[in-house]
Structure 1
Amino acid sequence: MFSETNKGYTYEECKATADWLMAQTDIRPRIGIVCGSGLGGLANLLKDQVVFNYRDIPNFPQSTVHGHAGRLVFGTLKGRPCVCMQGRFHLYEGYPIQKITLPIRIFKLLGVDTVILTNAAGGLNQDFKVGDIMIMKDHINMPGFAGNNPLSGPNDERFGTRFPCMSDAYDRELQQLAMEVGQELGYGDFLREGVYCVLSGPSFETIAECRMLHRLGADAVGMSTVHEVIVARHCGMRVFALSLITNQAVMDYDSEEKANHEEVLQTGKQRSEQLERLVSTLVTRIEHNNIYA
């Protein structure tokens, strides 16, 4: 039933994995959440949990990054059925780009219609501080400039159109709703909005690269999320994304600062409670505002 090759992301294979999951749980999620580095605590908010280790899910990749638990968690958040990825996949882990976005296609086949993504990112905007939460309003897909796009190759119309629009990749209603929720929760001092740029990693950026990205209009830089967003929009799902600014990108040759993954995880731990409250409240408001069709 499942491919043993390096591929394993055809429509039939994705559907077989989705069917396998639905046979194991009665929960039919409408919201899919992807947790970034140090932010896996979001999944712990789910009630009536049904948990799958990635290694046990047919056709699923394995997470290899410290700070990513590698579990798919089904449950309810504020009464809404959800599925949550504790740990995602990245280009730098060596997977084909179609493989790292496979879970998003499986989300679609499970019945998910809204995807919420979180990530840890370096701040390029000099007005941003470590610990700020940035609502993503747009992205710059640098690997895509080099032809590394998750939609490359044959297109299956059962997932989506050959040439999907990305000018509306991030749902504006959800952005506005999140900003209102953040203000109500008293997060105005550290809630931002901006443009996220994705690079392949795993090396952090050079000073010259940070300066270039900032001049191109990027407010934050990271190694994830954008590929998942492209596939989610290809599948017709609504997208909302948050970046936790876990370090300030080094822009000055005289600086002694150095980016490191431990700092990323530590900042995630410190700000995780507020981020979890923001996301869980947003999920509740999506229901109350009848944003779903």
Structure 2
Amino acid sequence: MEQLQVQRIDEAVQYIVQRIGALKPSIGMVLGSGLGDLAHEVEQPIAIPYSDIPHFPISTVEGHAGQFVVGTLEGKTVIVMQGRFHYYEGYSMQKVVFPIYVMKRLGVQILVMTNAAGGMNRAFRPGDLMLICDHINLTGAHPLIGPNDPELGVRFPDMSEAYNKQFRALAHQLSSQIRGDDGDALELQDGVYCGISGPAYMTPAELKMLAIMGGDAVGMSTVGEVIAARHAGLNVLGISCITDMAIGEELEPLTHEQVVEVANRTKPKFIALVKAFVREV
């Protein structure tokens, strides 16, 4: 936890407060690959590039704008991470989760985590939205290793309900009100997200192993941030956009551009779901 010193967090918070004034965000969002356009729905937005914020890393991945957007969404004050940081970019896991603690100190109590993921469950299809009910940390790293600062959270945070059950139930309830292009109601999947380090996509044998372990989707983010969020006492809703099928026996070549393309097609129902959740939560 060396890089998560309260002083550094507070310096980042102080800079952001200078930019947003009296605004007090209560809901934070982290937007994954191809999903950043949700930030365009924020009213009276204040955009703050990560490069301007003290101690912040820089997002280097295509499809990640690399800024906070603060404003109003569905009547709530929100702070949106338009682009995130990844362990595979060379940052420590402590640096990856640094923004989570900053959002907490700004007043955030609810965190909406999103990502693009490969679907390992044969019942899934590209373009599906999966509510994350649990995760398996296979990154080989953990954001809480090192001395613990009690100002940030307890030494041994409970992870028995990393993803809030009530939030998932609300999302399912709201999905019946959301219609796709075909007129059918949005059907949400539920599943376990496997977080890997990346940046290479997985081999067929590795994917078979993850499926046997109980994984329904696989991606290169989220788990570290959710661990930090629970450490900080935040309640989490996790949503994966299934951009491709990662089934070992049927694996086809995959590029980041394909992932972003499917995420882009899924954006309308994704945005509708998140806006409905923010309105009702």
Output the TM-score relative to the length of structure 1.
0.91
1:29 maps onto 2:25 in alignment: yes
Mapping for residues 106-125 of structure 1, pairs under 5 Å: 106-125=102-121
Letter in 1 for 2:213: L
CA shift at 1:57, angstroms?
1.1
CA shift at 1:79, angstroms?
1.1
Partner of 1:214: 211
Q: Percent identity?
A: 43
State the alpha-carbon separation in 2 of the partners of residues 75 and 93 from structure 1: 29
State the alpha-carbon separation in 2 of the partners of residues 185 and 248 from structure 1: 24
Q: Residue 178 of structure 2 contacts residue 186 of structure 2 at CA under 8 Å; is this kept in 1?
A: no
| Structure 1 gap ranges (5+) | 1-6, 287-293
Q: Residue 250 of structure 1 contacts residue 258 of structure 1 at CA under 8 Å; is this kept in 2?
A: no
CA shift at 1:192, angstroms?
0.4
State the alpha-carbon separation in 2 of the partners of residues 170 and 190 from structure 1: 19
Mapping for residues 225-240 of structure 1, pairs under 5 Å: 225-240=222-237
Sort the Cα spacing of 1:28 and 1:204 in 2 relative to 1 into closer, same or farther, 3 A.
same
1:164 maps onto 2:157 in alignment: yes
1:258 maps onto 2:257 in alignment: no
The Cα offsets for residues 75-129 of structure 1, whole Å up to 9 and x where unpaired, read as 1101100000010000100001000100000000000000001100000001100
Partner of 1:43: 39
1:242 maps onto 2:242 in alignment: no
1:96 maps onto 2:92 in alignment: yes
Q: Residue 126 of structure 2 contacts residue 245 of structure 2 at CA under 8 Å; is this kept in 1?
A: yes
SS in 2 for 1:245: strand
CA shift at 1:186, angstroms?
3.7
Provide the alpha-carbon RMSD of the alignment: 1.2
Which of these residues, 164, 167, 179, is aligned with residue 172 of structure 2? Answer: 179
State the alpha-carbon separation in 2 of the partners of residues 191 and 210 from structure 1: 23
State the alpha-carbon separation in 2 of the partners of residues 16 and 96 from structure 1: 19
1:61 maps onto 2:54 in alignment: no
State the alpha-carbon separation in 1 of the partners of residues 245 and 187 from structure 2: 14
Deviates more, 1:21-30 or 1:166-175: 21-30
CA shift at 1:8, angstroms?
4.3
| Structure 2 gap ranges (5+) | none
Q: Residue 3 of structure 2 contacts residue 94 of structure 2 at CA under 8 Å; is this kept in 1?
A: no
Output the TM-score relative to the length of structure 2.
0.95
